Chain A
Amino acid sequence: MKYRLEFCDVISKDNMGGGSSIFTKQELDDYQELTYFTKKEIHHVYKRFKSLAPNPEAVTKATKLSRDELYALPEIKVNPFKDRIVRVFSSSGDDSMTFEDFLDMMSVFCDHAPLAIKIEYAFRIYDFDEDDSLGREDLRKLIDRLTGEMKLGESDMEQLIQAVIEESDLDNDDGLSFAEFEHKMTKNPEFVTSFRIRM
């Protein structure tokens, strides 16, 4: 305990001047240390979290937002992977998120997050059947979501899936493991610019 207190003394400098009434200084420092956000950004994220709740005044840090309430966020609403995003980031696994889950999600999607962590979460989001590998079914569902209302024809879909697997499957197990996915995405310059949500 002695060391912990000393540690916290050193790190808890009040950088922003005026404190906040919602979070204690300790909590803000915690969040700053554990996510990629600055204090101002954390406040901003909290504001957006509050705006999603049906009753903004009664929102506390322990409030849980249900899935439908989360879908009201504009960036999530139009996103074809919204159910996967909410599932992956929901710590209780039942598609509801507390503020910390929400903060976590926004931290992964923000500009400052490194590529590695984005790749990890992208893999989890795209893995529809949660078997730690992007198989043909996963890819099929992924492409379906991407194309929206206009579906690709069956032969086109097969051609596309085959092309993707040929490009990235290195160990010939007919699916992408995490290592292969990471190998491909580190070289994809569009990934980092598209896998982000600005607050």
Chain B
Amino acid sequence: MNQTKQAKEHEDGPMHLQKEDKNEVEQNELRFRRTSQAAILAQLPSRQTFFSEAGFTLGRRLSCIERRKSHLHQRASMTPSIAVGMEDDDAEEMVMANRRVSHAVSITDGVKSITDQWERTQSIKAMVASIHTKRKYRDEILQEPVQRTQIWKYQQKKAWQNFKQQTKNVLYQLELWSGAFKEIEGQFGTSVMTYFRFMRWLLFLNFYLMVVMLGLTMVPYVIKINRPWSFLDSPHPNNTGSNFTGDDFFEKALNCTKNYIGFLDNQTNSEDWGSKALDTLQGTGWMEHTVLFYGTYFNKTYSLPLVEGRLTYNMGLSYLLATGAAFLVSFFLLVKNSAKGVKSSVLDEGSGQMTQFCNKVFGGWDFCISNQKAAKEKHKNLTQELRGDLDNQKLLWKIENRTTREKAKLYSIRVVVNTVVLGFLVGSLYLIYYANNKLIDLQREFGDVHPIVQTLIQFMPSVTITLLNIIVPIIFKKLVEFEDYMPAFQMQITLLRTVILRLASLLVLMGSLYGMVVKDHDHFVDDCGNKRWQTINNTSEAPIKCWETYVGQQIYKLIILDFLVPFVLTFIVEYPRRLVYQKFHERFKVVNMMGQQEFDLPKAVLDLVYTQTLCWMGLFFCPFIPMMSLVKCFIFFYVKKGTVLNNCIQPVRPFRTSKSNSLFIAVLFISFIISCGPMTYMIGTISPSQSCGPFRVYSVENFIFFDTIRNLIFTFPSDAQKFFHIFGTMAFFIPAIGLTCFFMYYYCVQAVGYKRRAKLLKEDLIMEGKDKQFLLARVNEAWMYIEG
């Protein structure tokens, strides 16, 4: 290298260097510097392990362990290195050999007790070397004589490790659908996988909810211990000697129930098989008085054969607490899952434009892909994505140079589009509200028409919601193109708008139901806790004799529709579309332009979130809903798997896996909070029906659901009562809120501090790098001086 450089200088002479020759000389110099720099760099202690047999990290790992253990001992050699048996260039051989003598630290350094020995062998797993090498080092460690102190601690650790290993083995076998996951991953990569993983997580969530709800409500209802089967057979409370303060409430409940059951029997007896089938879809008729809905449950009294007297199972309390527990379980699981997302997104500082290229280039290829076709598509997608990102960068450069006039124009367009979107949202919500109210009028008009027509009318609000959920997002997608955002932001904002639409439509539904249940009506008598107990004036509107079951039925209808419509759509739209494409795409250009079905990830996830929201909303009124959600998840997994593997192609712009996961969980969390709110409000303000349900026997006038808990607290000893009363007073809440705010502020400030520290450390790193370059240049000069 040196000679070449000198020869070059002789040839050209420093005076007459042409531009190209100058460049070439510079290139040569650069190359020379780099090679000699590389030679020098290789001698740095932190790089020395590269050429060693042990591989890269042994020195680094050991240095970590050394530092941890030796910060008390202040060892001289802070970066030990292992230089064993190298095969490298002659140039560095000499220097390395010297270093070997002076700095060699063996892997057994610092191993004194048997615990140390064990920990060191565990750390070998993380070594970057072949198994053969690792085994050699492991044996070396084991052969060191050690003190057998603290055997007990070591054995504890060992047993714990074994236990963890065994449970991992067992759990790994139990993992549901792992074979299917591998298949999908091989063909589509990890971004589509997040959808299926999310589905599996929801499945388990519904399973836990089902266990809690059914275990506390249905199981005690059904078990056979000499129980009364219907409320009308319950023994009068006076006989049991319990503490009911007034038995006129009990009498009232009895009368109301008799009326209600008589009404129901009247209806069901006059129905034929066709009507019964329709009833299954709607949840009315024969289904109304089954365990499915809230209405059948009541406070049971059991008489055990061996025990004297009777036991009451306080079904009301357990129903309320079961709902509460179900929500708590959901909340807990949601928070746990979102914590994972938060952790990884905190690391991802400066995301978006700054790091996208690095991430895409180094993490772009999915090593899971095992399918030739999928690999080709992945290549294509990656190229397109990279090109798209490069265009984005050029666009960003352009945006920075946007004139004020262009900006003004763009902002006014955005304002217009946002107004249009808002208009659509309000319009859809009004449509739903209108449909709900029209229902009543339509019922009045078509009261005595064929039952199928009646069913269709009943389904009208649900169908409206479903149709709007399909059509309006498509409009949003078209609209957002006018706003000229970055593509990733476009997707996020469309998702946000669709989520608002869905949740708002559900809220409007609940709102109109609330209006129906709570307002006084001219045509109806208010009795037995129901505002629409009986019809006056011979109207053909149906009375609602048990409003909780009615609300449960509306949600049940929504769920049935939510199950049937995508199911049917998959078979009617997606499979034929693939067949059409396969047969005709060469002949007809239109077919080719429409393209193949792309897997619409945001829409699919929103569907899942929507189902789960319905589940949470209807939990109180229909305890079987988690089971229905569970079944739906299970069936849909296979349906979606089939359609994805057969009909769809990879999405052109794949989602970033981690970000999308945290986005889905965030949307789910918002839906959770939104479904808690109306339900709690409804339960907290409306009086329960006296004709059905476990709360039918009031204990005071103007009884509400939560009074059950109050009654329970009154039965506690007075000290315990005082303790619970404190929770309700201001003296507890205000300090509690204050304390919570204080902790939140503290953590926020801490986070800001950490960010600053990270920034300072990065600047330090940069400075160190510059220092290193400087020093290398000096060493290089010295080297050249010595050699030349």
**Interface residues, chain A, with chain B CB atoms under 8 Å away:** 1, 3-4, 7, 10-11, 13, 15-16, 30-36, 38-41, 74-75, 77-81, 89, 91, 100-101, 103-104, 109, 114, 116-117, 120-122, 124, 126, 131-133, 139, 142-143, 146-150, 152, 156, 159-160, 163-164, 167-168, 170-173, 178-179, 181, 183-191, 193-198
Which of B128, B134, B165, B768 has most A Cβ within 10 Å?
Answer: B128
**Of B169, B363, B367, B386, which contacts A39 at CB under 8 A?**
B169
Given contacts A117-B126, A159-B393, contact A194 B773 (CB under 8 A): no
Bound Cα distance from A12 to B231, whole angstroms: 63
Residue B387 at the chain A interface, CB threshold 8 Å: yes
Q: Which 9 interchain pairs have the tightest Cβ spacing?
A: A171-B769, A148-B379, A189-B658, A78-B375, A74-B370, A191-B363, A91-B130, A190-B363, A100-B131
What residue in chain A is nearest B182 (Cβ atoms)? Answer: A198
Digitize B357-377: 1 where CB-to-A-CB distance is under 8 Å, 0 elsewhere: 111011111111111101110
Kindly list chain A residues whose C-beta atoms are within 8 Å of the C-beta of B143: 1, 3-4
Bound Cα distance from A116 to B131, whole angstroms: 18
Given contacts A13-B162, A187-B355, A188-B355, contact A195 B370 (CB under 8 A): no
Interface residues of B in 336-352 (CB under 8 A from A): 344-345, 347-349
Q: Are the C-beta atoms of B769 and A34 separated by less than 8 Å? A: no
Kindly list chain A residues whose C-beta atoms are within 8 Å of the C-beta of B376: 148-149
Which of A77, A104, A126, A133 has most B Cβ within 10 Å?
Answer: A104
Q: Are the C-beta atoms of A75 and B370 separated by less than 8 Å? A: yes
What residue in chain B is nearest A143 (Cβ atoms)? Answer: B361
Q: Are the C-beta atoms of A131 and B38 separated by less than 8 Å? A: yes
**Of A13, A104, A193, which contacts B657 at CB under 8 A?**
A193
Q: Are the C-beta atoms of B772 and A171 separated by less than 8 Å? A: yes
Q: Are the C-beta atoms of A188 and B359 separated by less than 8 Å? A: yes
Interface residues of B in 748-765 (CB under 8 A from A): 762, 765
Bound Cα distance from A173 to B30, whole angstroms: 11
Q: Are the C-beta atoms of B131 and A104 separated by less than 8 Å? A: yes
The smallest beta-carbon distance between B786 and chain A, in angstroms, is 23
Kindly list chain A residues whose C-beta atoms are within 8 Å of the C-beta of B57: 116-117, 120
Kindly list chain A residues whose C-beta atoms are within 8 Å of the C-beta of B132: 91, 100
Q: Are the C-beta atoms of A15 and B165 separated by less than 8 Å? A: yes
The smallest beta-carbon distance between A47 and chain B, in angstroms, is 15
What residue in chain A is nearest B166 (Cβ atoms)? Answer: A15
Q: Are the C-beta atoms of B380 and A148 separated by less than 8 Å? A: yes
Q: Are the C-beta atoms of B363 and A188 separated by less than 8 Å? A: yes
Kindly list chain A residues whose C-beta atoms are within 8 Å of the C-beta of B121: 33
Given contacts A114-B126, A152-B383, A172-B769, contact A78 B362 (CB under 8 A): no
Q: Are the C-beta atoms of A75 and B656 separated by less than 8 Å? A: no
Residue B124 at the chain A interface, CB threshold 8 Å: yes
Residue B635 at the chain A interface, CB threshold 8 Å: no
Kindly list chain A residues whose C-beta atoms are within 8 Å of the C-beta of B168: 38
Residue B659 at the chain A interface, CB threshold 8 Å: yes
Given contacts A31-B131, A38-B172, contact A186 B347 (CB under 8 A): yes
Q: Are the C-beta atoms of A120 and B380 separated by less than 8 Å? A: no
Residue B185 at the chain A interface, CB threshold 8 Å: yes
Residue B50 at the chain A interface, CB threshold 8 Å: yes
**Of A79, A133, A139, A173, which contacts B367 at CB under 8 A?**
A79
The smallest beta-carbon distance between B334 and chain A, in angstroms, is 20
Interface residues of B in 49-95 (CB under 8 A from A): 50, 56-57
- In the assembled complex, 16 residue pairs joining A and B whose CB atoms fall closer than 8 Å, in A order, are A11-B158, A34-B134, A40-B169, A79-B367, A80-B365, A132-B41, A143-B386, A147-B383, A148-B376, A148-B382, A152-B387, A160-B357, A167-B355, A171-B773, A184-B358, A190-B363
Q: Are the C-beta atoms of A116 and B126 separated by less than 8 Å? A: yes
Q: Are the C-beta atoms of A167 and B357 separated by less than 8 Å? A: yes
What residue in chain B is nearest A126 (Cβ atoms)? Answer: B362
Kindly list chain A residues whose C-beta atoms are within 8 Å of the C-beta of B657: 189-190, 193
Residue B125 at the chain A interface, CB threshold 8 Å: yes
Bound Cα distance from A125 to B684, whole angstroms: 62
Kindly list chain B residues whose C-beta atoms are within 8 Å of the C-beta of A120: 56-57, 128
Bound Cα distance from A93 to B508, whole angstroms: 68
Kindly list chain B residues whose C-beta atoms are within 8 Å of the C-beta of A189: 344-345, 347-348, 656-659
Kindly list chain B residues whose C-beta atoms are within 8 Å of the C-beta of A181: 362
Chain B interface main SS type: helix
**Of A75, A109, A164, which contacts B358 at CB under 8 A?**
A164
Q: Are the C-beta atoms of A4 and B142 separated by less than 8 Å? A: yes
Kindly list chain A residues whose C-beta atoms are within 8 Å of the C-beta of B131: 31, 34-35, 100-101, 103-104
Interface residues of B in 152-203 (CB under 8 A from A): 155, 158, 162, 165-166, 168-169, 172-173, 182, 185-186, 189-190
Residue B99 at the chain A interface, CB threshold 8 Å: no
- With A10-B158, A34-B135 known, 6 other A-B pairs at CB within 8 A are A75-B369, A91-B132, A146-B379, A147-B379, A152-B383, A167-B355
**Of A77, A104, A116, which contacts B130 at CB under 8 A?**
A104
The smallest beta-carbon distance between B130 and chain A, in angstroms, is 4
Kindly list chain A residues whose C-beta atoms are within 8 Å of the C-beta of B145: 3
Bound Cα distance from A34 to B169, whole angstroms: 17
Bound Cα distance from A81 to B165, whole angstroms: 33
Bound Cα distance from A90 to B371, whole angstroms: 24
Digitize B282-311: 1 where CB-to-A-CB distance is under 8 Å, 0 elsewhere: 000000000000000000000000000000
Kindly list chain B residues whose C-beta atoms are within 8 Å of the C-beta of A186: 347
Residue B146 at the chain A interface, CB threshold 8 Å: yes
The smallest beta-carbon distance between B80 and chain A, in angstroms, is 18
Kindly list chain B residues whose C-beta atoms are within 8 Å of the C-beta of A149: 376, 379
**Of B126, B374, B765, which contacts A170 at CB under 8 A?**
B765
Bound Cα distance from A90 to B168, whole angstroms: 30
Kindly list chain A residues whose C-beta atoms are within 8 Å of the C-beta of B50: 132
Bound Cα distance from A196 to B368, whole angstroms: 6
Kindly list chain A residues whose C-beta atoms are within 8 Å of the C-beta of B372: 77-78
Which of A7, A11, A193 has most B Cβ within 10 Å?
Answer: A193
Bound Cα distance from A78 to B355, whole angstroms: 27
Residue B712 at the chain A interface, CB threshold 8 Å: no
Q: Are the C-beta atoms of B773 and A100 separated by less than 8 Å? A: no
Which of A104, A147, A190 has most B Cβ within 10 Å?
Answer: A190
Digitize B379-415: 1 where CB-to-A-CB distance is under 8 Å, 0 elsewhere: 1101100110010010000000000000000000000
What residue in chain B is nearest A11 (Cβ atoms)? Answer: B158
Which of A38, A171, A181 has most B Cβ within 10 Å?
Answer: A171
**Of B128, B344, B349, which contacts A121 at CB under 8 A?**
B128
Q: Are the C-beta atoms of A194 and B190 separated by less than 8 Å? A: yes
What residue in chain B is nearest A131 (Cβ atoms)? Answer: B38
Bound Cα distance from A180 to B118, whole angstroms: 32
Residue B770 at the chain A interface, CB threshold 8 Å: yes
Bound Cα distance from A80 to B357, whole angstroms: 19
Kindly list chain A residues whose C-beta atoms are within 8 Å of the C-beta of B186: 74-75
Q: Are the C-beta atoms of B367 and A194 separated by less than 8 Å? A: yes
Interface residues of B in 106-136 (CB under 8 A from A): 114, 117-118, 121, 124-126, 128, 130-132, 134-135
The smallest beta-carbon distance between A193 and chain B, in angstroms, is 5
Q: Are the C-beta atoms of B135 and A187 separated by less than 8 Å? A: no
Bound Cα distance from A177 to B731, whole angstroms: 60
Kindly list chain A residues whose C-beta atoms are within 8 Å of the C-beta of B362: 122, 126, 181, 184-185, 188, 191
Residue B741 at the chain A interface, CB threshold 8 Å: no
Q: Are the C-beta atoms of B656 and A190 separated by less than 8 Å? A: yes
Kindly list chain B residues whose C-beta atoms are within 8 Å of the C-beta of A39: 169
Bound Cα distance from A171 to B146, whole angstroms: 44
Kindly list chain A residues whose C-beta atoms are within 8 Å of the C-beta of B118: 7
Bound Cα distance from A163 to B57, whole angstroms: 29
The smallest beta-carbon distance between B23 and chain A, in angstroms, is 16
Residue B47 at the chain A interface, CB threshold 8 Å: yes
Residue B545 at the chain A interface, CB threshold 8 Å: no
Kindly list chain A residues whose C-beta atoms are within 8 Å of the C-beta of B41: 132
Kindly list chain B residues whose C-beta atoms are within 8 Å of the C-beta of A196: 367-368
The smallest beta-carbon distance between B54 and chain A, in angstroms, is 12
The smallest beta-carbon distance between A108 and chain B, in angstroms, is 9
Kindly list chain B residues whose C-beta atoms are within 8 Å of the C-beta of A163: 357, 390, 393
Bound Cα distance from A131 to B57, whole angstroms: 16
Q: Are the C-beta atoms of A148 and B383 separated by less than 8 Å? A: yes
